A = this chain, B = another copy of it.
C-alpha cells in the first residue's frame, strides 16, 4: 500500500514554510485545490510586508529614494518572470496584469483593434477555460471575428485529424498548454509550428502549466503566454503576459491611463514604450514583489523536481483510487500520466460533486466541485460538474490517503 514517492522534494520541510499548514490549533488540512489557487510560503508574505514596511511608494514617477527603490524592486520582478520562462528580452517582454484573465483580454482586445478584422478566424480548443473563451466570444460579438474549435476525444486529447483544415486561414491560435479539468498536456510546439505555417499568431494559456512544469517560450514556439501569480505561490492580484517584443511593439494599448503614455493631448495620445504601454495606472507593485519571491522559491526547489514530484503523486493517487473504488470512480482525461499535469477530475458513484466536496471537507480534504470555468467542456463530458483534486509541491501521500478515506465516508453517507 505505501509505495513511496519518487521525489527530490523534502515535503516536510516545504510544509514548514507555509503558515497555513502550521496553524497553532489547526485541524489537518489536506489541500487539494491548488489548481484553483495555491497556498503561499512565508517568504512571499515577508517580501510584501518588507516592501510595505520599508520602501513603499508609487513606481516610475518618483525621483526620491524610496520611490526609486520601489521601481527597482518592481522592475526586477519583471525580469525574474522573464527569466523564469526564458524570455529572450525579460525587461521588455513581460507585462504585469491582474490575472491571466486580464492578460488574455488584453490580447483579444488589442489584436482586434489592430490586426484582426471582421470574418478573421481565431482557433481555440473545446477544453479552454472561460478565460480563453469569453474574451474571444466578446470579440466575436463586437468585431465579428469567427471562432473555430479543435475538438477533443473521449480520452481527453485534442483531435488533430483535421487540424490542417481547422487552422487553414486562421489568424490566431489561442490554446491552453494544459487543461485545468482533464489535465491533458497539449502538443503546443507542434500546434504552434502548424499555426505559424498558416501565418497565425499563437497564444498559450499557461495558467495551469507555468506553475508546475519548466517553461521555455522558445521551445514552446509560441508568440504570447498568459500566466497568473496566485496559482504559483504568488499573491492574488497579479497576472503576467509574455509576448515577443516585435509583436508587443506592433500592438496598440489595452487600457488607457497613467504610465502607459508617452504624451497626452486633449485630442489624442502617444503610447509609451513596451512593456509600460500595456500597464495603465498604478500597477500591482507589492504583488509583483511577492511574485518575485515566489519564483525564487520555485527555482530553488527546481521546476524539474516539482514535475517529478507531481507525476509521482499522480501515479500514487491513480493507483489508490482505482484499487479502492474500481468502477465506482471515473477519472476524466488521459490515462497515461506522462500526458497529464497534476489535476484529477472525477465522478464518484452517483454522488453530486457538491456533496462529495462538502463531505470531504469534513475530513479536512479540500477539493473543488463545479464546472471549473469550462462549461463547454463539461457539456462535452456530459456532466454539469465534476469534483477535482489538484496537486502541488506541498502535497504528499497523506493527502491522497485522506482523499481516499474521505471518499469512502461519502460513499457510506449516501449509501
Measuring CB to CB, which residues of chain A are less than 8 angstroms from any residue of chain B? 19-20, 23, 29, 33, 36-37, 39-40, 45, 48-49, 52-58, 61-67, 97-102, 104-105, 108, 113, 126, 129-131, 133-138, 141-142, 147, 149, 228, 230, 235-239, 253, 255-261, 263-269, 280-287, 354, 357-358, 360-361, 365-370, 372-373, 375-376, 379
Contact = CB atoms under 8 A, between A and B. Distances in A.
A19 B53 contact: yes
Given A65-B361, A257-B134, A105 B280 contact: yes
Given A58-B36, A237-B238, A63 B354 contact: yes
A49 B41 CA distance: 11
Nearest to A39: B56
A358 to B, nearest CB: 5
Contacts of A283: 99, 236-237
B366 A66 contact: yes
Q: How many copies does the complex hold?
A: 2
Contact of A237 (B33, B130, B147, B287): B287
A17 B354 CA distance: 43
A130 B282 contact: no
B368 A280 contact: no
A266 B53 contact: no
A236 B375 contact: no
B52 A49 contact: no
A375 B264 contact: yes
B236 A366 contact: no
